[in-house]
Amino acid sequence: MLAMLSVELRKLNRSLAAVLALAAPSLIAVFAFFLLLRGGSGRPWTQWMEASAGIWAYFMLPMSVTALTAMVAHMEHGPRAWDHLRALPVPRWRIYAAKAICIIAIVVIMTLLNLLLTLVAVRAAGMVKPVVAPTGAPDLAKFLVLNGKIVVAATLLVAIQLWTALRFSSFVPALALGIGGTFFSVVATSAKEGVFFPWQMPVNMLAKEAWRVETALALGGGLGAVALALAILHLARREVL
């Protein structure tokens, strides 16, 4: 399994995955920096950090997962490398499991980058314009837990997007699914049923109602793990992609 992970990491190093991993959270940090400069007074750290996590969970994370899974799948679909990969003397499920692990790892890294870059952006804005400097002290433990929950709740979304991207040789179905899911998540933000919608599960980690947080976390993490395992087994049994 370590060998498969090493291969996947080398492939990602030759792709634009690193650019995507840095660009998406950087955009949120830049937005926070200039938004803070437009203010006239300081606000609590919690407000800025929760806003950053909300933007990430609400829009950037789903779109990043869409782009990332499509990119990873296209590395094999493009050069028609599946025949070679599936002929290797290793269990087929490891090939797909390695891809899933790498994608989840990148999502974790991107989520942490969003947290760290937002901290830097807010601090920098406060230095440029002291009157808008955030008040209090940032509760890093609280924010780390919140972002960890966001990643766990996004597992079902990752499983669905990864299965679609690997199942179809064209990148169109995966992109259409990701864009469509994000669109409906945006237009149905206030719907109570959104807690059961995979694309809204991550942002429900910021809900005020405890039942929404617990439900989205259980469904996104629990069903997500099951869906990911089933997707890997299904793809490993297919003879032709």
pLDDT tens per residue across span 103-149: 999 999 999 999 999 999 999 999 999 898 898 888 899 999 999 99
- Counting Cβ atoms within 10 Å, is residue 6 exposed (0-12), middle (13-18) or buried (19+)? exposed
Task: Give the C-alpha separation, 79 to 232, whole Å.
Answer: 21
Structure tokens at 90: 């290793």
Count CB atoms within 10 A of the CB of residue 58.
20
Residues 119-130: tens digit of each pLDDT: 999 999 999 998
pLDDT reading at 9 higher than 60:
yes
Tokens 């599936």 sit on residue? 86
Which of these, 74, 92, 89, 80, lies nearest to 11 by C-alpha position?
A: 74
Angle at the Cα of 112 from the Cα atoms of 105 and 145, rounded to 5 degrees? 100
Instruction: Provide the token pair at 23.
Output: 């660009």
Residue 173 has a CB neighbour count (10 Å cut-off) of 14
- What is the average pLDDT value for the chain, to the nearest integer? 87
pLDDT of the residue at 139: 87
User: How many domains is the chain built from?
Assistant: 1
pLDDT digits 0-9 by tens, 190-234: 777 778 999 999 999 998 899 999 999 999 999 999 999 999 999
Decide: pTM greater than 0.85.
yes
Q: Evaluate if residue 19 carries a pLDDT over 70.
A: yes
| Structure confidence by residue, pLDDT tens digits, 55-77 | 999 999 999 999 999 888 877 77
Q: For residue 195, give its domain range.
A: 2-237
Confidence of residue 153 (pLDDT cuts 50, 70, 90): very high
